[in-house]
A and B are shown apart, each in its own frame.
Chain A
C-alpha cells in the first residue's frame, strides 16, 4: 500500500513538473508575450527543468539505452530516438540563446558580439522543438490522460480533506480499493 502511495506521489510530481515545463516551453517560444528579458531567463531556467526531468526518468533512459538493439518495444525505441533529438534541439536552443543574449548574459557581465547565424539556428531549432514536443506529448498522451484522471478522482474522493488531518485523509485514500 505504501508502495502504491509512493508511485502515486511520483506520478503527481512527474505530472506537475511536466506541466510546468510544457507551460514554460509555450511561454518561452513567444518572446513577444514575455519580453526579451523574461524570455532569456525562462530559457535558462528551462535548461534546469529539463535536467530535473531527465534525472527523474534516469532509470528509463538507462534501461532503454542498454536494450536498444535487443528486447525493447518499438514504441520505447521511437520514444528514445525522439527524446534524444529533443535533447539535442533543446541544447542547441539554449546554447544559441546564450550566444545572442541581450539581457541575461550582459547582466552577468558577458557581452558577446552579435552573430546573425546564431539567431537563425535559434529560430530553426525552436521551430523543430515545437514539432518534437508535439510528438513527445502525443507518445505520452495515454499516460497524461490516465494520470490526470487518477489524480482528479482522488481529489474528488476526499471532500472532507480540508477539515481532516493529512495523515488520516491519506490513509483513507489508501484504504479505497
Chain B
C-alpha cells in the first residue's frame, strides 16, 4: 500500500513536469519558427529551411550524421563521448572535493596549534 502511494506521488510529480512542458509548447515562444525566436532554441547547426524548422529530423539525422533507425557499432562513439564527459566531471568534482578537504584539515590543524582565541 505504501509503495503504491509513493509510486502515485512520483507519477503525480512527473505529470506536473509533463504538464508544464505541454503548457510551454502552447506558448507563443514555442510556436515561433526557429529563426524568429529570440535566442534561438536551435540545437543543430546548419542552414534552416524556409519553413523555419531545423534541417533534418531526429529520426533521420543525428549530430554525427547517419541513420538512427538501424543499430550500428558506430554508435559506440556516442557512448564513449558521453562516458568521457561523465568521467571528466567526476574527476573534476572529486579533485575539488579532495583539495577543499585538505585545506579545511590544514586550517583546523593550524587552529589547534595556535590554541583557542583568547
**Residues in chain A within 8 A of chain B (CB atoms):** 26-27, 29-36, 38-39, 51, 54-55, 58, 87-88, 91-92, 94-96, 100, 102, 114-124, 127, 130-131, 133-135, 137-139, 141
Chain B contact surface mostly: helix
Residue of B nearest to A114 (CB): B57
**Residues in chain B within 8 A of chain A (CB atoms):** 3, 6-7, 10-11, 13-14, 17-18, 21, 25, 30, 41-43, 53-54, 57-59, 62, 64, 66-76, 78-79, 82-83, 85-86, 88-90, 92-94
Please give the distance in Å from A17's CB to the nearest CB on chain B.
Answer: 15
Q: A33-B73, A34-B71, A117-B25 are in contact. Are A139 and B78 (CB under 8 A)?
A: no
Of the residues A31, A118, A135, contact of B62 by C-beta under 8 Å? A31
CB-CB < 8 A to B25: which residues of A? 115, 117-118
Q: How long is the Cα–Cα vector from A87 to B75 in the complex, in angstroms?
A: 26
Of the residues A33, A96, A139, contact of B72 by C-beta under 8 Å? A33
Q: A36-B68, A130-B85 are in contact. Are A138 and B90 (CB under 8 A)?
A: yes
Residue of B nearest to A38 (CB): B71
Q: Are B85 and A131 in contact (CB under 8 A)?
A: yes
Residue of B nearest to A115 (CB): B25
Q: Are B59 and A35 in contact (CB under 8 A)?
A: no
Q: Are A91 and B59 in contact (CB under 8 A)?
A: no
Q: How long is the Cα–Cα vector from A122 to B71 in the complex, in angstroms?
A: 20
Please give the distance in Å from B55's CB to the nearest CB on chain A.
Answer: 10
**CB-defined A-B contacts under 8 Å, sample of 20:** A26-B83, A31-B75, A32-B66, A32-B71, A32-B75, A33-B73, A33-B74, A35-B70, A36-B68, A51-B7, A54-B6, A54-B10, A87-B17, A88-B17, A95-B21, A116-B53, A120-B43, A123-B58, A138-B90, A138-B94
CB-CB < 8 A to A94: which residues of B? 14
Of the residues A36, A55, A138, A141, contact of B7 by C-beta under 8 Å? A55
Q: Are A131 and B89 in contact (CB under 8 A)?
A: yes
CB-CB < 8 A to B82: which residues of A? 26, 29-30, 130
CB-CB < 8 A to A115: which residues of B? 25
Nearest 7 CB-CB pairings of A with B: A33-B75, A134-B89, A32-B75, A138-B93, A119-B58, A35-B71, A30-B78
